[in-house]
Each structure stands twice: as structure tokens, then as C-alpha cells.
Amino acid sequence: MKKILITALLAILLVSTVSCSKKESDGVTISFWHLDTADEFKATWQKQADAFMKLNPHVKIEITILENEAFKQKIATMMQSGNPPDLFRSWGGGVMNMYAESGLLRDITDELKKDNYIDTISEGPLGVYSYKGKVYGIPYTMGAVGLWYNKKIFKDNGIEPFKTWDDLIAGCKKLKAAGITPIALGGNDKWPGHFWWVYLAVRTGGKEAFDKAYGRSGSFTDEPFIEAGRLLKQLVDIKPFQKGFLGATYTDQSTLVANGQAAMELMGQWAPSVQAQNTDDKKGLGDDLGFMPFPAVSGGAGKITDAMGGGDGLAVGKNAPDETIEFLKFMMSGDNYKELMSSPISILPTVKGADKYITDPQEKAVAEMTAKAEYYQLYYDQYLPPAVGEVVKDATQGIFAGTKTPEEAAAMIEKAMKEEN
């Protein structure tokens, strides 16, 4: 399937002669697409464009704004025509890699290396927008998944933040013995559950195992992925989740933690705000909410500093004029980036040193973890081809439900990956 799509896209490229950017006699036009439809968000991007155009009078930036699903459909159509926008929202990973493989994106590596600009972006997040050693975009915000926990419950039960997987297992057993639900999980939505297996794979196999499985010199049935399933089964077997978790939603998961009915959840940087919305006073746990990295696995190839998560960035289309890269660097530098961070758009920085502008302690904890990550893994359901991502969630669900062994779950994922190549 993947090879057929790439072949078709390359054929389109051979006959495509129209560019989304218009180089006119009196200047250059840059097409910029994003999906931030809220008025205050639209104003933020427009302000950045206006500032750049003022400094570069020969440049005109035309902004197109679409809501999320319409954006995905329209981008797919533009890509199939071989005529991508010059600058557009991207989540990096698998879909972006497919576009890069098909020659639909512009390699901006050399431009970013000028004056060592590339060194100003955190290594892990930049890797999500890189493919085969080349950079095709820049992430402007990148968070990470971690364990959000109730500090009061932990303190009252003599539990310290976990450093190892064994610590987590022991902590869950202690909380259960005290009559407390250790972990809330929205199992019916599947994606919250897949976080557990993916993070365990990050810890057991590290970057090398994933790169081999994704690049097909290895397999998703290799030992690190089997071991991730075994460790997840170890957790499932002690029954740390709330009753009926397989039928619960993410909203249910968040509500339990927010109201002190469960001790923790594994979730992304948005957890505090979602928890707050699920409490009567809209404040959540307040100062009682803590954050910790996913624990280390003894003997695993991954480091505790390796992170799994996601965020937002901007990719550059194949026909983009040079001014597009300058505009992208303009927004991602100095006071302009500081202004983005202070805007209504919720941004956890990818620019090195910008975390000093964060005042919220929870956001700072996530930002510091993201900045330290040498290996940053985008969620599998976004990084892998869409069909494979769905199978990952189904396979993981099977482990939670007890209907799939770790070996069977890994085999499901590998089968789906082979069908895509």
C-alpha cells in the first residue's frame, strides 16, 4: 500500500508544474496554512506574518485557515496534486515522512545549519520533523506524556515518585491495599492505553529497536516489543485500574484523577487543563497535582530521559521560496518566539533556553523533560502509517482485556507493518 501510494505521488510530481507559491515580478508570495480557528489564535499567527512582511516588503504571506478535519482532507488533496502549500501545520512522523519520501517537501537542513541556527532547536523534538537525516520542518511546541499523580495520596501512603518500573508495581500494590484505585484508564478510547505499551517499548528497546522495526531491518516481534507486552501484562495482572476501565473514556479517566478517586494517570501535557474542566470548581487538584517521567525499566536499552509525546510544528512544501524558511526561522527566534509563548496558543518550547519564560511549575516540568530527551518518540498511532497505528491500539487493548498475549499483540503489529511495505 505504502509503495503504491509513493509511486503514484512520484508520477504526479513528474507532470506537476504549478507551484503553490507565486514568484511574481514585484515580489514573492508565501502560502501559509494552519488550523487554529479561534480568533485569538488567528490573530497570533497574523501578527507574526505582518511583522515579517513589514521587514520584507517584497514578501506577501497569504494565510489559509481550516478546522482540523477539513485541513487534513485539503492537505491530502493538495499533496496528491503535487502542489503543497509553502508552509503548513504538521505533526511530523509517519505522514510527514511519507510526503518527504515522495518528494513533496523541501529539505531545509542546509538553511537551518547557517549560522548554527539548527543548534537552537532541541534535538529530540527536531527529530520528529526529520527523515533520513534531513529536516523538513520545525516543531514550535512539543510536550511529553508522563505520570500525573496526586501528591497528597502519595504522601499519605508513604509513596515517593517512581524511579523504576518495579517501584511503580510496588506502589500500585500498596495503594490497592489501602483501598485506593492506583491508576485511572479510559480503556474504551484505546489511545490512552496504547501510551503504556509504547512507553514500555521506548524503555526496553530505545531508539535503536524502533528504528530497526520501522526501517524493516528488524521487527515489531523483536524481544524489546515482546518484553514491553510482558511488562504491561504484569501491570494488568495486579488490577490497578478502576472497575469497568475497558468501557471507560478518557474523560472518565481524567475525572477520576481530578476528583481524587484515583491516584494517577499516564497522559500528555494537556492533562492539568482537562482535569480542571472535570471538577466542579474548574481548578482540578491544584498544588496537589504532580508530574513525573515514565519510570526506567531495569536492563532496558532506553534511558529514563527518553520521552514519548507529541506537539505541533510547521513543514515546508517542495515549491516553497527561500523566504519561507526565513519566515519560519523568524517566528522561531528571539522575541518573536517569546511572543508566541505568551500568546493564547498553549506552547511548550522547543527552542533551547526558552523554558525560562514558563511560569507554571507543571508546564516547566514537562518542558524540562522534553528538552532533555535525546530520543523523542512521537506517539505510535501518529508516527506509524495510519492503518498500523490503529492495529497498535487494538493489539494493546487486547493485552489490557486479556484476549491477546504479548507475543500475539506484537505479531498483529508486525503483520500490519508488513502489509504497508
pLDDT band per the 50, 70, 90 thresholds, residue 95: confident
pLDDT at 357: 87
Kindly tell me if the per-residue pLDDT of 3 is higher than 80. no
**Of 321, 315, 328, 375, whose CA–CA distance to 98 is shortest?**
315
Residues 174-231: pLDDT tens digits? 999 999 999 999 999 999 999 999 999 999 999 999 999 999 999 999 999 999 999 9
Residues 284-334: pLDDT tens digits? 999 999 999 999 999 999 999 999 999 899 999 999 999 999 999 999 999
Quick one: 62 and 165 in the same domain?
no
**Dihedral angle over CA of 338, 341, 342, 347, nearest 10:** -170
Contact 119, 89 (CB under 8 A): no
Which residue reads 482532507 in cell numbers?
A: 73
Quick one: 100 and 167 in the same domain?
no
Quick one: 50 and 13 in the same domain?
yes
Terminal-to-terminal C-alpha distance of the chain: 7
Quick one: 83 and 202 in the same domain?
no
How many Cα atoms occupy the beta-carbon half-sphere of 240 within 13 Å?
22
Quick one: 20 and 138 in the same domain?
yes
CB burial readout 363-380, b (16+ within 10 A) else e: bbbbbebbbbbebbbbbb
Contact 172, 353 (CB under 8 A): no
User: In a 3-state reduction of DSSP, which class is residue 261?
Assistant: coil
| Mean pLDDT on 93-122 | 94
Quick one: 209 and 127 in the same domain?
no
pLDDT band per the 50, 70, 90 thresholds, residue 8: very low
Number of separate domains in the chain: 2
Kindly tell me if the per-residue pLDDT of 10 is higher than 70. no
Quick one: 160 and 83 in the same domain?
no
pLDDT at 6: 46
Domain that holds residue 59: 2-143+310-378
User: In a 3-state reduction of DSSP, which class is residue 268?
Assistant: coil
User: In a 3-state reduction of DSSP, which class is residue 31?
Assistant: strand
Quick one: 135 and 255 in the same domain?
no
Quick one: 168 and 297 in the same domain?
yes
What's at 124, amino acid-wise? G
Residues 157-179: pLDDT tens digits? 999 999 999 999 999 999 999 99
pLDDT at 26: 67
What's at 134, amino acid-wise? K
Beta strands at 87-90 and 289-292: parallel, antiparallel or unpaired: unpaired
For residue 257, what are the CA distances in angstroms to 30, 147, 197, 264? 45, 11, 21, 6
- Tell me the CATH number at 109: 3.40.190.10
| Mean pLDDT on 134-139 | 97
Say how far apart CA 374 and CA 100 lie, in whole Å.
23
> Most confidently modeled of 58-62, 269-273, 384-388?
58-62
pLDDT at 372: 84
Quick one: 36 and 91 in the same domain?
yes
State pTM to two decimals: 0.81
Which residue reads 515482546 in cell numbers?
A: 226
Percent over 90 (pLDDT), the chain: 77
Compute the C-alpha angle 87/345/125, nearest 5°: 60
| Mean pLDDT on 92-108 | 93
DSSP per-residue string spanning 12-72: HHHH----SSEEETTEEEEEEEE---SHHHHHHHHHHHHHHHHH-TTEEEEEEE--HHHHH
| Mean pLDDT on 353-368 | 88
**Neighbour tally for 356: CB within 10 Å:** 10
For residue 347, what are the contacts with CB-CB under 8 A and spacing of at least 6? Answer: 140, 141, 340, 341
pLDDT at 374: 86
Lowest pLDDT segment from 19-23, 64-68, 124-128, 242-246: 19-23
Say how far apart CA 167 and CA 182 lie, in whole Å.
13
Mean pLDDT of the chain: 92
| Mean pLDDT on 340-346 | 86
**What nine digits make up the cell of 31?**
502560502
Kindly tell me if the per-residue pLDDT of 261 is higher than 50. yes
Contact 145, 292 (CB under 8 A): no
Residues 70-90: pLDDT tens digits? 998 899 999 999 999 999 999
Quick one: 291 and 326 in the same domain?
no
Contact 289, 275 (CB under 8 A): yes
What's at 249, amino acid-wise? T
pLDDT band per the 50, 70, 90 thresholds, residue 118: very high
Quick one: 67 and 191 in the same domain?
no
